Amino acid sequence: MNPKNFDFASQIISSNYLEISKEGEQQYQKLIRELLTSRSVPLEGLSVRTIKRIILDLSSLDTNNFLNNIGVGEREGRIFSSYVQDRMSGLSHGVGRSGDVSAEQPKAAGSSLIVKLTTRMALQILKASGLTSIKSCLILPLATGMSLGMCFLTLLSQVKTKKVRPRYVIWSRIDQKTCLKSIISFGFEPVIIDCIPDGDQLTTDLESITTKITELGQENIFCIVSTTSCFSPRVPDRVVEVSKICKSNNVPHVINNAYGVQCSTTTSLITQATKQGRVDFIVQSTDKNFMVPVGGSVVASTDKKLIKRLSQTYPGRASIEPILNLFCTFLEMGMNGWKLLLKQRKQNFDYFINQMKDFCLQNDFTILKTPKNKISFAISLEKYSNLSKKNKDVGMIGSMLFRRACTGQRVFKKGIEKQIMEYNFKNYGAHTKNYPREYLTLSCAIGMTKKQINIFIKRLQSVIKEFEK
Amino acid sequence: MNPKNFDFASQIISSNYLEISKEGEQQYQKLIRELLTSRSVPLEGLSVRTIKRIILDLSSLDTNNFLNNIGVGEREGRIFSSYVQDRMSGLSHGVGRSGDVSAEQPKAAGSSLIVKLTTRMALQILKASGLTSIKSCLILPLATGMSLGMCFLTLLSQVKTKKVRPRYVIWSRIDQKTCLKSIISFGFEPVIIDCIPDGDQLTTDLESITTKITELGQENIFCIVSTTSCFSPRVPDRVVEVSKICKSNNVPHVINNAYGVQCSTTTSLITQATKQGRVDFIVQSTDKNFMVPVGGSVVASTDKKLIKRLSQTYPGRASIEPILNLFCTFLEMGMNGWKLLLKQRKQNFDYFINQMKDFCLQNDFTILKTPKNKISFAISLEKYSNLSKKNKDVGMIGSMLFRRACTGQRVFKKGIEKQIMEYNFKNYGAHTKNYPREYLTLSCAIGMTKKQINIFIKRLQSVIKEFEK
Amino acid sequence: MNPKNFDFASQIISSNYLEISKEGEQQYQKLIRELLTSRSVPLEGLSVRTIKRIILDLSSLDTNNFLNNIGVGEREGRIFSSYVQDRMSGLSHGVGRSGDVSAEQPKAAGSSLIVKLTTRMALQILKASGLTSIKSCLILPLATGMSLGMCFLTLLSQVKTKKVRPRYVIWSRIDQKTCLKSIISFGFEPVIIDCIPDGDQLTTDLESITTKITELGQENIFCIVSTTSCFSPRVPDRVVEVSKICKSNNVPHVINNAYGVQCSTTTSLITQATKQGRVDFIVQSTDKNFMVPVGGSVVASTDKKLIKRLSQTYPGRASIEPILNLFCTFLEMGMNGWKLLLKQRKQNFDYFINQMKDFCLQNDFTILKTPKNKISFAISLEKYSNLSKKNKDVGMIGSMLFRRACTGQRVFKKGIEKQIMEYNFKNYGAHTKNYPREYLTLSCAIGMTKKQINIFIKRLQSVIKEFEK
Amino acid sequence: MNPKNFDFASQIISSNYLEISKEGEQQYQKLIRELLTSRSVPLEGLSVRTIKRIILDLSSLDTNNFLNNIGVGEREGRIFSSYVQDRMSGLSHGVGRSGDVSAEQPKAAGSSLIVKLTTRMALQILKASGLTSIKSCLILPLATGMSLGMCFLTLLSQVKTKKVRPRYVIWSRIDQKTCLKSIISFGFEPVIIDCIPDGDQLTTDLESITTKITELGQENIFCIVSTTSCFSPRVPDRVVEVSKICKSNNVPHVINNAYGVQCSTTTSLITQATKQGRVDFIVQSTDKNFMVPVGGSVVASTDKKLIKRLSQTYPGRASIEPILNLFCTFLEMGMNGWKLLLKQRKQNFDYFINQMKDFCLQNDFTILKTPKNKISFAISLEKYSNLSKKNKDVGMIGSMLFRRACTGQRVFKKGIEKQIMEYNFKNYGAHTKNYPREYLTLSCAIGMTKKQINIFIKRLQSVIKEFEK
């Protein structure tokens, strides 16, 4: 209520009581002011009630929510379904304009504010998580695969004047389809560099990368894609060294940092890479790092202009939902909440490994030594290596866990050959042609709790027992 | 409640009363059964309460919503914010898998069902709206611009084996940035074909298209993009003829049918085109046709395999939200509701024009004769042609309306030159280099009401009065 | 957002776009102003989005919703459950104070405003529905039974000084337990006056009432309770005549007008009664008239002081929910919506009777002639009078309908004797000791639709068919 | 989804994925089964999502929510407002029937189940909180004042046969209006027994009670009302002794235990009273103990029949909302959550007092010694006793705190005379005619946090500073 309406209200109820409400209202307006001026994640998380009010107040700035709006165009933010209307709080115009996906919309000042604020908050959160050298970021309402593609299109727009369009993307192999597909779908030819062993670990084959550049010709290399979050025994790519290669060869470098924001070791590695070599885009998933539904990613860069160009490369408007979810999450979590989550993840990772050490001791397993992977670890299933003769298959362990409502574990089983588009992969799942052992990979990602770890181990125990019967 | 729980409940309250509830429950299960077996939009719309229950029941099939789920992976559908959780009813895994954006997700059977059902419903709705020849469709959680881009990537995947990659996209000019940008951003070179006059109307320059194909070489033409929904005085492209040219020249054809689903004249035109010539993809906006928030589009084709390929071209997962919004809307609207909306739009379009005729008579304006545009019409502002000397600008009419909470009107003002990327447009806004008159364009899109039309005309009257002062 | 925050926002996005939003915001503030100054139901209903915003803005005036509130008392409006918090929009302090259930609460200015506004709206709605002579009303968060009790307590507070406390409540019999129980539970002795026939109709036995007053002594009569909404063949009590008796005997008169607001014949009858005789309180249900969940009633009077006293008789606070539901309903419905509902009910009542006439003709039934009941009508089941020999029971017709998801029908079956507390009723259900026929009673209450009427008749047909087999 | 629909779904998506969903669904059905069979608060609290699903599933058992319901009565659970519909999840029939407010409703099996389950949960929670001897309870959708009144009506129904209706209610004075009003409004005459000092404490004047019984005649005493939760320096009434007096004099005893459930000292005191003497009803607020919005109370008794009679005394239906709020809260809190809250309150009370001791030392105040009050404590304002000459008023301290968004503190100021109805109170606020000191009372009620305590003390410090200026 504005001050005048407070006056009118005081003709209905005592102005004494309203006086204190006025001050209460000022507290709220002060909070909004702080949001608008600091453009930061609040230190302490806000209540859902307050967040809903903020969303409602901001969405009221969009023309389609005006009480007297008349639309005589073709895209007027009309919402037929009252349930959809409620879900979206009337935010209907999406984000962006035809010229720029981060542009303000004349018809939707509220949506535009949400986009701007959330982008600033995301930048702040990324920096607070260790990506200290980045200067700008863009939240795309696209998951990481499509976002990688948009990064490629942006880089493409910079090489258009070149006579020959470079066609090769050098890609340090990670056995997850999306990244490979984004290279191929967006019209490039992947050059797959298998990982190489480093003890139990699998790491980047820098030598092969350099060799390939020479072999194919620097001018034909569109970019290099490295990955910093992955399942053990693969460890984050050696991005510092890769970025140096990129710099010295003048080749763009895109880092697929899907869920690496939650791990300070990874983010500081990337920061070093940006300082010592060349990194064009760093792509991170919103769902994997910030616990929102799938559908968004944050692309960051040390170069503001690159982000601006990315934003301008995106044709047309897009859904506001992934940004809205992030906005609500940042507000509900607060900076303190985020830092607590990071701290707890670290502690829980240690706890998980320690508990699994006991489990392994009791069950005659070993944990693979992959100290460079701080999110995931693997248990060798070597002891079952002769099982297949008995018609048993270690892959069953995964599905038995799944049937017990455990999700996310992965069992690597030797000998799986897989074709993705026209590319063949031996020992798919292992990120390399040969890995000596079969294993079970587990992660301790952000949001996991000690209680869940304990329950998981119990279920794993019962699965192992049944499997070994 | 399952039958056993009904039994337990009857130890608390009278089984007589529960007996009737059991039958009530069966009615609900019957509704679900009909949804699952017919996979159609229900004839009559459902209540929000029922829709919410359906969403909650379906989302309960996703692993992240199990009461006992433990996630040991990196993407486990965790939702931090309780507000986001509520908004999304716990639908957190998005849609698709790395291999196919319409693939089922092992972790998310409920989300997968929603995707499948909504896709079938969308196909049914498109057919019921006149796109009778289409065989398959895909709902992309992308607005039309990006969806056009994805169509291009899909077509690209088919020409990869060609020695020379065709680079030209022939584009019948429409002065709306997005489509042009999707051509350029995705790495192609637009060949812009200005519209030509047909009385007051602006229509497709078929001759120039043919000439250009010959000139540039058929093998260098990647595809032709035509547009079937646009602002008067431009009218829908002559897609039947364009598709014949495509067929005879073996050139793919993508139709940008952004908001044409709401107009049966347009959809029957497209259907003819698919029958008489070549149409690869037909792209329609979800927000402009179905009144959901911006962020989705439906791509349809007469070729099932093409849609499958489009689906496989999309790398990785995507947000479920645009599909969820469509699902809710289809359920709330019902087939009867949709047909009523189509009918009302048609009636309201006639009503709007008739009311405007009176308005024009009284105010000495004329309506441009653009009978082939059944969604939009334009009022000539010729009578103000000498105004500019008096320091007045017809563009003001648009902004004066905007300030009166009218949105969507467009004023075409001569002489605006605009550069988009490296392309120059004379008389931007008119879809052609020369249009003899300035005008105000208005639309009667789906969802507009007679009451709104009446209010708009009053506001326009007051604007005109002020403008002429 | 307040003007200052608009300024801060304009440092983030273009002030041009915000300018129009500011005007949009003013439209909303204007709506609030109109609510606060007119204190009336808006002419046109508001959207749910707007209502939610109003509730959120008003509830923000309550101290428990301040961002910085600290409670050091025992009742601080804390809400544990986030779901409850959301359901109630943070409205936690209830209504009233220890001294007066309609008093403003120092801690809850927003709740207090909602109470005051809704009360004024209710008064306006009652007047617009024909209770033109009333001067004041109170919305009690109690259903009609308890509200009658509170009226009794209020009347009791006025006779406390009398030496002998009058103990008899004369009650024109209606076979619905609640009213009788409210008399007995609150400590009075009912004097039951059976209805008398008037053709098929059952009406008030004025003579017996007068006789009883003389017999028991006027000074021993606490009050008379009459009922104006009831099931055919009973018709509304002859309240004009009863009120005259009350006036001439100086006996208070309470009218149980449970669902009579929806019927202008009834309300004008009551208005006459207030003018020609004595009416102290008129009690109406909120759920039955305004389609809100059960739990509230509106008590009206032509005497402001009586309502004030009623309000002061209520000890302590009460739930805000019934008032909140009414507030939301009035806002969503608008005055036009309410009037439309009244009109439709009338039309549907006629439609129902006409359709049933056809049905009766075809099935050899007759409709009882009860023209004074404008909400309900009854179908004679006389043709089944010999059925009982065949082991069939007309009561089955009711339960067969119930099993077909029809609710609210009542079958009167002769010979039921019922004891309520220490009182015996012969032919319970018929409002009199002897009624010559068995019958099925049906109502056409507010909110019923033609479609429902048609479906009901089909189901009745199938029931009759099965019953007669 | 029922098993058949799972089968139909498996024609759309892979039955493998649905298999696990089926097990997920069974987990949910198992939870429901546990609720229905144990009828207990779950050990661990449930998620809001699960609670919403439970509510939706239960409310679907009510006839008004059937997809095919047709109502031909006058009260059919119709809900006009879509917002109200959503708020109430379609629970529209309220609770109870005309005969019994806890009776099952034929039209509303779901609502009835909620009532039954919540009542059982409330009983369990009360017992777990120390009221171990109670046998039955009833949740009334009435705050404590009205609930006391309903207890009186119930007791009245038991003495109706007596020739002389006993009229006096002996009431150990507590300066809170509601209880007094419930005595008077319901037609009784309060006999006010001032508290007497016990050191700084104010406690029950047992002697005067006994004297009064003799003086007025046992047969004229309707009941005694004692209070067990109150503001320091008053302490809980000596209910053990009072109940002995009641027993020996055959006088009913009602304990107003408004917010005593949160304090084990209080509940064990009451338990002793029920064992050693006579206690008919124990009344507790739902909002003050369980942090739900105002509007409900739980009445408990060691005598099942008394509770049954109370339930039958209530005339007609009532709102389900207070029960629904409690149901949601119990589910969200879980038994462990409740126990944690109790434990934290105790710790926080000690913390508050300890912090205030420091505060008092620094500011030259003293804390009154009231060890028998375990919820509230008071700070003597004696040092300001000469202030009034300087035109300053200790009452200002309260309002200064209020203006700083602190609520619930109470300042006792000498010399306030207050008339409530026809009763005069000297030194109102002090529960006795003479209390030697002025003071500030503070509580540490359930839900208060350490953080809030710290902030409060800072604000108090600033208030004191300003006040002493």
How near does any CA of chain D get to the CA of B207, in Å?
47
Q: Give me the residues paired with residue C226 across strands.
A: C255
pLDDT surpasses 90 at C159: no
Instruction: Find the farthest-apart pair of alpha carbons in chain C and give their distance in angstroms, rounded.
Output: 88
User: Residue D223: its pLDDT value, please?
Assistant: 98
What's the Cα-to-Cα distance from B232 to each of A353, A453, B409, B428, D130, rounded to whole Å? 67, 63, 11, 14, 78
Tokens of A15: 């102005």
Q: For the domain bounded by B338-468, which CATH number is listed? A: 3.90.1150.10
Give D385's contacts (C-beta < 8 A, 6+ positions apart). D438
Q: Return d(Cα B236, Cα B223) in angstroms, integer.
A: 18
Mean of the per-residue pLDDT values of chain D: 96
Mean pLDDT of C391-400: 90
Query: Chain B contact for A23, CB < 8 A?
Result: no
User: Residue C143: its pLDDT value, please?
Assistant: 97
In chain C, the residue whose alpha carbon lies closest to the alpha carbon of B86 is: C83
Q: Give me the residues paired with residue A196 across strands.
A: A203
User: Residue C388: its pLDDT value, please?
Assistant: 59
pLDDT digits (tens, 9 = 90+) for A97-144: 987 899 999 999 999 999 999 999 999 999 999 999 999 999 999 999
Chains that touch B (3 or more CB pairs under 8 A): A, C, D
For chain A, the helix, strand and coil percentages under 3-state DSSP, each to the nearest 5: 50, 15, 35
How near does any CA of chain C get to the CA of B28, in Å?
13
Q: Which of A8, A11, A12 to mutate to test the interface with C (most CBs of C within 10 A)?
A: A12
Query: Chain D contact for B119, CB < 8 A?
Result: no
Q: Return d(Cα A156, Cα B186) in angstroms, integer.
A: 9
Tokens of D456: 């409060």
pLDDT digits (tens, 9 = 90+) for B337-368: 999 999 999 999 999 999 999 999 999 999 99
Query: Chain A contact for D87, CB < 8 A?
Result: no
pLDDT band at residue D415, thresholds of 50, 70 and 90?
confident
CATH 3.40.640.10 in chain A is located at: 109-333
Please say whether the structural domain A109-333 has been given the CATH code 3.40.50.300.
no
CATH superfamily ID and name for D342-468:
Aspartate Aminotransferase, domain 1 (3.90.1150.10)
Taking the CA atoms of B184, B189, B194 and B195 in sequence, report the sign of the dihedral they define: negative
Lowest-confidence region among B102-111, C94-103, D301-310: C94-103
pLDDT surpasses 60 at B389: no
Q: Which residue has the higher pLDDT, B161 or B294?
A: B294
Within a 10 A sphere around the Cβ of B140, how many other Cβ atoms? Answer: 27
Burial class (CB in 10 A: 0-12, 13-18, 19+), B237: buried
Mean pLDDT of D444-453: 98
Tokens of A117: 């604020």
pLDDT digits (tens, 9 = 90+) for A257-306: 999 999 999 999 999 999 999 999 999 999 999 999 999 999 999 999 99
3-state DSSP assignment of residue A299: strand
Residues 188-227 of chain C with CB under 8 A from chain B are none
pLDDT surpasses 60 at D420: yes
Q: For the domain bounded by A3-94, which CATH number is listed? A: 1.10.10.2160
Q: Return d(Cα D120, Cα A430) in angstroms, integer.
A: 56
Tokens of C358: 């056809």
Within a 10 A sphere around the Cβ of D360, how many other Cβ atoms? Answer: 15
Give Cα D222 to chain centroid, integer Å. Answer: 24
pLDDT band at residue D277, thresholds of 50, 70 and 90?
very high
CATH 1.10.10.2160 in chain A is located at: 3-94
Query: Chain C contact for A63, CB < 8 A?
Result: yes
Residues 324-383 of chain A with CB under 8 A from chain B are 325, 328-329, 332-333, 341, 375-376
What's the Cα-to-Cα distance from C347 to each of A307, A314, C335, C445, C448, rounded to whole Å? 64, 57, 19, 11, 11
pLDDT surpasses 90 at C390: no
Please say whether the structural domain A341-468 has been given the CATH code 3.40.605.10.
no
How near does any CA of chain B get to the CA of A181, in Å?
5
* Contact predicate C139/C323, CB 8 Å: yes
User: Residue D387: its pLDDT value, please?
Assistant: 65
User: Residue A389: its pLDDT value, please?
Assistant: 57
Give C285's contacts (C-beta < 8 A, 6+ positions apart). C143, C144, C258, C259, C296, C297, D75
Query: Chain C contact for B17, CB < 8 A?
Result: no
Q: Cβ separation of A27 and C57 shorter than 8 Å?
A: no
pLDDT surpasses 70 at C184: yes
Query: Chain B contact for A94, CB < 8 A?
Result: yes
User: Residue A390: its pLDDT value, please?
Assistant: 64
Weakly modelled stretches of chain A, pLDDT under 70 = 161, 387-390
Mean pLDDT of B58-68: 97
* Contact predicate D79/C413, CB 8 Å: no
- Among residues A338, A336, A413, the alpha carbon closest in space to that of A380 is found at A413
Query: Chain C contact for B24, CB < 8 A?
Result: yes
- Among residues B263, C456, C294, the alpha carbon closest in space to that of A74 is found at B263
Mean of the per-residue pLDDT values of chain B: 96
3-state DSSP assignment of residue D227: strand
3-state DSSP assignment of residue B13: coil
Tokens of A465: 């027992």
Mean pLDDT of B219-244: 97
Burial class (CB in 10 A: 0-12, 13-18, 19+), A128: middle
Tokens of D102: 């806890």
Q: Return d(Cα C77, Cα C72) in angstroms, integer.
A: 11
Mean pLDDT of C383-407: 86
DSSP-derived letter for residue D89 is: T
pLDDT surpasses 70 at D388: no
Give D194's contacts (C-beta < 8 A, 6+ positions apart). D173, D205, D208, D431, D432, D433
Which positions in chain D touch B65 (Cβ < 8 Å)? 24, 49
User: Residue B160: its pLDDT value, please?
Assistant: 73
pLDDT band at residue C459, thresholds of 50, 70 and 90?
very high
End-to-end CA distance of chain A: 70
Where b means 16+ CB within 10 Å and e means fewer, C373-408 reads: bbbbbbbbbeebeebeeeeeebebbbbbbbebbbbb
Nearest to B80 among A64, A317, A329 (CB): A329
Taking the CA atoms of B145, B146, B150 and B156 in sequence, report the sign of the dihedral they define: positive
* Contact predicate D376/D232, CB 8 Å: yes
* Contact predicate A283/A155, CB 8 Å: no
How near does any CA of chain A get to the CA of C49, in Å?
7
Burial class (CB in 10 A: 0-12, 13-18, 19+), A381: buried
ipTM greater than cut 0.90:
yes
Tokens of B32: 């679900």
DSSP B385-444: TTGGGGT--THHHHHHHHHTTEES-EEE-TT--EEETTEEETTTTSSSS--S--EEEEE-
